[in-house]
C-alpha cells in the first residue's frame, strides 16, 4: 500500500491548538503554515480537499488555568478561541472549517465514538489505584501531576506524557510524583476507568507502520513509532476523574470525562461533519473511503497520539481509514531559547499582524524557508529581515516590479507581441515549464523548505533573464527585441503569480491583480504552466504596478529585539523578587494583626544538597531537610554563595508559601535572608545548637 498516489479526495488535518493561549510562530512553523501550503497546493491541482481544524478546549491545563485566574473554563476557552480563530483567518490559513471541541457536534461525535467501542468490547473496564491529592480531594492525572519520567529521567514529566522524550505515560508510572495543585505527594485511591488496551493493537501497528510506511514516513516519525512499538505497548486509561470535558457516556461513568487526547483527534471528524453540513456534502467519504488520502500535520510532541493511539481507535471502530502520512515537524525556537507560552517567550501571531500590517507573507516565507523539518531550528529577527530584504524584496519583488514598470513605460501596460524568440528566450520559457513539476515533487514529499527555495529560484531566473537581456539599454537601439524580452518576462511573472499562491497567497493575489490574470478568458492554472506556450497573451492590458514587498529597516528589528529583552528582564525580576531582599533599607510595611502573623509557618531546616540552576546565573536549587519532609527550594543566592559552601547550613524557611515554578523547577518555600554591610547575603538562622529541623518559629 504505502502511499496513496491517486486519491479521489483529501482530508487534511492540522493539530487542534490548545485554547490556553494564543498562536505563536512555533505553532505556525510546525503545523499551520505547512498544512496550509499543502492544502492550497492540492486545491490548485484541482483536488477535492477538506482542510479541517478547530480549538482543543478540554483537558487539565484549561481547568488549571481557570482555577488560577478565578474564572470558569468556558471563559478561558471563549477568549482564546476567538483570538486564535481571528488570527488564523487574518493570517490567511485557508481552513475549510475551524470548529471547537466544546461544540455540540463534537460532544455527540466523541460520545458516539466511545459508545461504539464500548459496545464492541474494545475497552478494559477496571478499578485501579490512581494518584489522589488528599488536600485538594481530587484525582491527579495529566498536568495535575509531575514526576520523573521512567523512560528518560526528565524530572518534570506529566501524568500522561513526557515532553522531553515524547513517551506517553500513565500517571502511576511517574517516579516521585507530586501534585501540581498543592505540591503534596499523592496517595493512591481506587477508582474505575476505561482503558484502551494498546497491546492488542501491536500487531496491527507493526504491519501498518513498520512494514507499510517504512519508506514514505519521515525518519523522525517512523523512528519514534518504531521505538515505542519495539518497547511494547500498555493499556492506557481513556477516561478521567474530572469535571471539565466530555462526560463518559456509559453506565458507571458519572462524574468522569473522556481523556482530552481521546476526544481531541475525533475533533477532526466533528469539524469535517460541521463543514459538510454547511456545504451540503456527505462527510463520510472524507473519513471512510479507501480512495481518500488522510494527512495529519502536527509537531513532534503529538506523534504518539496521531500514529499510535488515534489510529488504534480508528482501527477499533472499524469503518475508518488511516492516515496516509503524518509529516510531523521538529520544534522551532526563538532567538536561541525554547518558545514558551508561560514565559511569554514568543512572537505572538496576533501581535505580529498588528505590528507588521499586510505582511503576512513575509512571516510565512521566513518560517517556511527555515522550517524545522528535519531538526529543531531557530527563528531570529535578523534572519526574518534578511529573508525579506534579500529575497522577497531584492529578488521576487524586484523582478516583478521591473516587469510591470517597464511594460507600462514602453507599452502603456499592454503585453507586447514577441517577434523572434532566440535560444535564451526559449530556454527561459522551457525552464518555466519545468517548475510546476519540481515544486510538486517537493510538496508531495512534504519538503516545504525545499519547495519555497525552488519558488525563489523561479524569481531568480526571471531576475537573471532581465539583467542579462537589459531591455532598458536595448530600448534605444532595438525596439523589436525589447518586445520579445518583455513578453518572455511577463510569462515568467505570470508563472510566479500562479505558483506562489500556496506559499505567498496575499502576494500572489496582488500580483494576479496587477496582471489582471483572472480577467483572461482562459486564465492559466498550475498544470497549464507546463503545457501552454502563452500564459499572458499579447495585447492583454495590465493594471498599474504596485510594490509587492517593502524593505524592513533595522529599527523595526531592533524594536522586536528590545521587546524580547524586556520579556527576559521581566522574567528575571519576578524570579528574584521572591528570593532576595531590596538593596536599600525598605520602609516599614503596614501593621498586621497577630492573626496575619500566625498564618506564617516559619521553620528551621538544614540545607542538605545544593546545585546551580543550569543557564541561570543567580539561582541555586537547594534541598532542605525540614524534619518532616525534604523540600526543593530555588533561591536567588548564587552570586553570594557557592553550592559547596552552604551544605549543612541551618536556615529559616517560610514553609507554607504557595509552591512556585522557577525555570521549570518547583520551589516549595522560601529561605529568609538579609544582607550584610557590603551587600552580601547572609542567612537568617538560629545559631543555637540542638534546634531540630522542622521546629517552628513563633
Ligand X SMILES: Nc1ncnc2c1ncn2[C@@H]1O[C@H](COP(=O)(O)OP(=O)(O)OP(=O)(O)O)[C@@H](O)[C@H]1O
Among 61, 64, 162, 461, binds Zn ion (CB under 5 A): 162
3-state SS record for 195-259: EEEHHHHHHHHHHHHHHCCCCCCCHHHHHHHHHHHHHCCCEEECEECCCCCCECCCCCCCCCEEC
* Binding letters toward Zn ion, positions 394-433, x by CB under 5 A: ----------------------------------------
The window from 109-117, 140-148, 293-301, 404-412 that contacts ligand X (CB under 6 A) reads 293-301
652: closest CA among 693, 612, 596, 592?
Answer: 693
Q: Establish if 27 lies at the interface with ligand X (CB under 6 A).
A: yes
Q: Are 35 and 51 in contact (CB under 8 A)?
A: yes
For residues 372, 377, 382, 384, the Cα torsion angle rounded to the nearest 10 degrees is 10
Which is closer to ligand X, CB of 18 or CB of 352?
Answer: 18
* Cα–Cα separations (whole angstroms), residue 184 to 132, 163, 302: 10, 22, 29
Q: List the beta bridge partners of residue 247.
A: 257
Q: Does 664 bind Zn ion (CB under 5 A)?
A: no
From candidates 154, 343, 433, 650, binder to Zn ion by CB under 5 A: 154
Least gap, CB of 145 to Zn ion (angstroms) = 15
Q: Give the number of C-alpha atoms closer than 13 A to the C-alpha of residue 177, restricted to the C-beta side.
A: 27
530 touches 436 (CB < 8 A): yes
Are 323 and 225 spatial neighbours (Cβ–Cβ below 8 Å)? no
Is 149 annotated as belonging to a binding site? yes
Among 331, 356, 410, 683, binds ligand X (CB under 6 A): 331
Least distance CB 344 / ligand X (angstroms): 11
Contact call for residue 607 and ligand X (CB under 6 A): no
**From ligand X, Zn ion, none, which one binds at residue 665 (CB under 5 to 8 Å depending on kind)?**
none
Nearer to Zn ion, 223 or 318 (CB): 223
Element (H, E) at 456: helix 448-469
Q: For strand 49-55 and strand 9-14, is the pairing parallel, antiparallel, or unpaired?
A: parallel
The CB-of-413 to ligand X minimum distance in angstroms stands at 44
Query: Distance (Å, rounded) from C-alpha 647 to C-alpha 3?
Result: 61
* Contact assessment for residue 344 and residue 389, using Cβ atoms and an 8 Å cutoff: no
Which is closer to ligand X, CB of 27 or CB of 517? 27
Q: Is 147 in the site for ligand X (CB under 6 A)?
A: no
Nearer to Zn ion, 227 or 574 (CB): 227
**341 part of the interface to ligand X, by CB under 6 A:** yes
| Contacting residue, 30, 54, 285, 418, with ligand X by CB under 6 A | 30
Size of site (CB under 6 A) for ligand X: 19
Minimum CB separation from ligand X for residue 17, in Å?
Answer: 4
- Does position 683 interact with ligand X (CB under 6 A)? The reply is no
335: left (phi over 0), alpha (psi -120 to 50) or beta: left
C-beta of 139: minimal distance to ligand X in Å? 22
Among 209, 257, 298, 619, binds ligand X (CB under 6 A): 298
* Part in contact with ligand X (CB under 6 A); list of ranges 14-22, 177-185, 272-280, 516-524: 14-22
Distance from CA of residue 551 to its chain's centroid?
28
Cell numbers 505497548 correspond to what residue?
233
299 binds ligand X (CB under 6 A): yes
Residue 524 interacting entry, from Zn ion, ligand X, none, C-beta within 5 to 8 Å by type: none
Check: CB of residue 333 under 8 Å from CB of residue 300.
no
Is the Cβ of residue 278 or residue 338 nearer to ligand X in the bound state? 338
Smallest distance, Å, CB 195 to Zn ion?
21
Q: Which of 238, 266, 322, 332 binds ligand X (CB under 6 A)?
A: 332
Pick 157 or 393: Cβ nearer Zn ion: 157
- Part in contact with ligand X (CB under 6 A); list of ranges 243-251, 299-307, 347-355, 382-390: 299-307
| Interaction between residue 149 and Zn ion (CB under 5 A) | yes
Going 215 to 299 to 368 to 345, the CA torsion angle's sign is negative
Site for ligand X in 184-243 (CB under 6 A): none
Specify the stretch interacting with ligand X by CB under 6 A; choose among 297-305, 347-355, 488-496, 502-510. Answer: 297-305
Contact of 400 with 460, CB cutoff 8 Å: no
CB 633 within 8 A of CB 673: no
Q: Is 343 helix (H, G, I), strand (E, B) or coil?
A: coil
Per rule CB under 6 A, is residue 85 in the interface with ligand X?
no
First to last CA, the chain: 74
* Selection from 566, 571, 602 nearest residue 695 by Cα: 602
Q: Are strands 332-334 and 337-338 parallel, antiparallel or unpaired?
A: antiparallel
Closer residue to ligand X (CB): 8 or 342: 342
User: Applying CB under 6 A, which of residues 7, 21, 323, 636 lies at the interface with ligand X?
Assistant: 21
In the list ligand X, Zn ion, none, the entry touching 152 (Cβ below 5 to 8 angstroms by class) is Zn ion
Of 355-394, which residues contact ligand X (CB under 6 A)?
Answer: 372
Rounded to whole angstroms, the Cα distance separating 440 from 44 reads 11
Do the beta carbons of residue 222 and residue 336 sit within 8 Å?
A: no
| Residue 348 is a binding residue for ligand X (CB under 6 A) | no
* Min CB(173)–Zn ion separation in Å: 10
Note the helical H segments in 254-397: 260-279, 285-288, 303-304, 310-317, 349-355, 360-369, 381-386
Q: Which of 10, 11, 18, 485 binds ligand X (CB under 6 A)?
A: 18
User: Are the C-beta atoms of residues 77 and 102 closer than 8 Å to each other?
Assistant: yes
In terms of CB distance, is 162 or 366 closer to Zn ion?
Answer: 162
Whether the Cβ atoms of residue 403 and residue 536 lie closer than 8 Å to each other: no
CB of 162 to Zn ion, least distance (A): 3
What is the DSSP pairing of strand 157-158 with strand 175-179? unpaired
Answer yes or no: is 165 a known binding residue: yes
Residues of span 573-602 touching ligand X by CB under 6 A: none
Name the helix (H) or strand (E) containing 445. Answer: none
Using the minimum distance from each CB to ligand X, give the nearer residue, 261 or 411.
Answer: 261
Q: Which of 12, 13, 31, 224 binds ligand X (CB under 6 A)?
A: 31
- Using the minimum distance from each CB to ligand X, give the nearer residue, 244 or 283: 244
Least Cα distance to 300 among 664, 29, 12, 2 occurs for 29
CA 506/CA 358 separation, integer angstroms = 8
Entry field: residues in the chain: 698
At 681, give phi and psi (nearest 5°).
-75, 140
Q: Which does 329 bind (CB under 5 to 8 A by kind): ligand X, Zn ion, none?
A: ligand X
Find which of ligand X, Zn ion, none residue 400 binds, CB within 5 to 8 Å per kind.
Answer: none
Contact flags string 311-330 toward ligand X, x per CB under 6 A: ------------------x-
Per the DSSP assignment, residues forming a β-bridge with 674 are 682
CA 377 – CA 121 distance, rounded (Å)? 44
**Count of CB atoms situated within 10 Å of the CB of 568:** 14
Least spacing, CB of residue 297 vs Zn ion, in Å? 24
Query: Of residues 165, 250, 353, 394, which one binds Zn ion by CB under 5 A?
Result: 165
Q: Counting contacts by CB under 6 A, is residue 54 touching ligand X? A: no
Question: How far, in Å, CA of 449 to CA of 384, rounded?
Answer: 15
**Which residues bind to ligand X, rule: CB under 6 A?**
15, 17-18, 21, 26-27, 29-31, 298-299, 301-302, 329, 331-332, 339, 341, 372
Q: Pick out the residues of the known binding site for Zn(2+).
A: 149, 152, 162, 165
Q: Pick out the residues of the known binding site for ATP.
A: 341
**Which residues bind to Zn ion, rule: CB under 5 A?**
149, 151-152, 154, 162, 164-165
Amino acid at each position: 500500500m504505502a502511499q496513496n498516489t491517486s486519491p479521489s479526495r483529501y482530508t487534511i488535518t492540522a493539530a487542534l491548538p490548545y485554547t490556553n493561549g494564543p498562536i505563536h510562530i512555533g505553532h505556525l512553523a510546525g503545523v499551520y503554515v505547512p498544512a496550509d501550503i499543502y492544502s492550497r497546493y492540492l486545491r490548485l491541482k484541482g483536488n477535492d480537499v477538506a482542510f479541517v481544524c478547530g480549538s482543543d478546549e478540554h483537558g487539565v491545563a484549561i481547568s488549571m488555568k481557570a482555577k488560577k485566574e478565578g474564572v470558569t473554563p468556558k471563559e478561558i476557552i471563549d477568549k482564546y478561541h476567538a483570538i486564535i480563530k481571528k488570527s488564523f483567518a487574518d493570517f490567511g490559513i485557508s481552513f475549510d472549517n475551524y470548529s471547537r471541541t466544546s461544540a455540540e457536534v463534537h460532544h455527540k461525535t466523541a460520545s458516539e465514538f466511545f459508545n461504539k467501542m464500548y459496545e464492541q468490547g474494545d475497552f478494559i473496564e477496571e478499578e485501579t489505584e490512581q494518584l489522589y491529592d488528599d488536600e485538594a480531594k481530587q484525582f491527579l492525572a495529566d498536568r495535575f501531576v509531575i514526576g520523573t519520567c521512567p523512560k528518560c529521567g526528565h524530572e518534570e514529566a506529566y501524568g500522561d506524557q513526557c515532553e522531553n522524550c515524547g513517551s506517553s505515560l500513565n500517571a502511576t508510572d511517574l517516579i516521585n510524583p507530586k501534585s501540581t495543585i498543592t505540591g503534596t505527594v499523592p496517595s493512591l485511591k481506587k477508582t474505575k476507568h476505561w482503558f484502551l488496551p494498546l497491546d492488542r493493537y501491536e500487531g496491527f501497528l507493526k504491519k501498518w507502520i513498520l512494514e507499510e510506511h517504512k519508506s514514505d514516513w519521515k525518519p523522525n516519525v517512523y523512528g519514534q513509532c518504531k521505538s515505542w512499538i519495539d518497547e511494547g505497548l500498555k493499556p492506557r486509561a481513556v477516561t478521567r476523574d474530572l469535571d471539565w470535558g466530555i462526560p463518559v457516556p456509559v453506565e458507571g461513568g458519572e462524574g468522569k470525562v473522556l481523556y482530552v487526547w481521546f476526544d481531541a483527534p475525533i475533533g477532526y471528524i466533528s469539524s469535517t461533519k460541521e463543514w459538510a453540513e454547511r456545504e451540503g456534502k456527505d462527510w463520510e467519504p472524507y473519513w471512510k473511503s479507501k480512495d481518500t488520502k488522510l494527512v495529519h500535520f502536527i509537531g513532534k510532541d503529538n506523534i504518539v497520539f496521531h500514529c499510535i493511539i488515534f489510529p488504534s481507535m480508528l482501527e477499533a471502530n472499524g469503518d475508518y481509514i488511516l492516515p496516509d502520512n503524518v509529516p510531523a515537524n521538529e520544534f522551532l525556537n526563538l532567538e536561541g531559547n525554547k518558545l514558551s507560552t508561560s514565559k511569554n517567550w514568543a512572537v505572538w501571531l496576533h501581535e505580529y499582524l498588528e505590528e507588521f500590517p499586510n505582511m503576512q507573507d513575509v512571516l510565512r516565507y521566513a518560517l517556511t524557508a527555515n522550517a524545522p523539518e528535519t531538526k529543531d531550528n531557530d527563528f531570529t529577527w535578523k534572519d526574518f529581515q534578511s529573508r525579506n530584504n534579500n529575497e522577497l524584496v531584492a529578488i521576487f519583488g524586484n523582478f516583478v516590479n521591473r516587469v510591470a514598470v517597464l511594460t507600462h513605460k514602453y507599452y502603456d501596460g499592454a503585453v507586447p507581441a514577441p517577434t523572434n524568440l532566440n535560444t535564451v528566450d526559449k530556454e527561459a520559457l522551457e525552464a518555466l515549464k519545468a517548475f510546476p513539476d519540481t515544486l510538486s515533487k517537493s510538496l508531495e514529499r512534504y519538503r516545504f523548505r525545499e519547495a519555497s527555495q525552488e519558488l525563489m529560484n523561479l524569481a531568480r531566473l526571471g531576475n537573471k533573464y532581465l539583467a542579462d537581456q537589459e531591455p532598458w539599454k536595448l530600448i534605444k537601439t532595438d525596439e523589436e527585441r525589447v518586445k520579445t524580452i518583455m513578453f518572455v518576462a511577463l510569462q515568467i511573472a505570470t508563472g510566479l503569480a500562479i505558483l506562489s499562491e500556496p506559499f505567498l497567497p496575499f502576494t500572489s493575489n496582488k500580483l494576479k491583480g496587477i496582471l489582471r490574470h483572472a480577467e483572461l478568458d482562459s486564465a492559466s492554472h498550475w498544470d497549464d504552466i507546463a503545457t501552454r506556450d502563452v500564459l499572458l497573451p499579447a495585447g492583454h492590458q495590465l493594471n498599474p504596478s504596485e510594490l509587492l514587498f517593502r524593505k524592513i529597516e533595522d529599527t523595526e528589528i531592533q524594536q522586536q529585539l528590545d521587546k524580547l529583552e524586556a520579556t527576559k528582564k521581566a522574567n528575571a525580576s519576578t524570579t528574584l523578587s521572591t528570593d532576595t531582599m531590596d538593596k536599600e533599607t525598605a520602609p516599614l510595611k503596614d501593621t498586621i494583626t497577630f492573626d496575619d502573623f500566625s498564618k506564617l509557618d516559619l521553620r528551621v531546616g538544614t540545607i542538605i544538597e545544593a546545585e546551580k540552576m543550569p543557564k541561570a546565573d543567580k539561582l541555586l536549587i537547594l534541598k532542605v531537610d525540614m524534619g518532616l519532609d525534604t523540600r526543593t527550594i530555588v533561591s536567588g543566592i548564587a552570586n553570594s554563595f557557592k553550592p559547596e559552601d552552604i551544605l549543612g547550613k541551618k536556615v529559616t524557611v517560610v514553609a507554607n508559601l504557595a509552591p512556585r515554578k522557577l525555570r521549570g523547577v518547583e520551589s516549595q518555600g522560601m529561605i529568609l535572608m538579609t544582607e550584610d554591610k557590603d551587600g552580601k547575603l547572609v542567612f537568617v538562622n538560629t545559631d543555637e545548637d540542638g534546634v531540630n529541623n522542622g521546629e517552628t518559629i513563633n
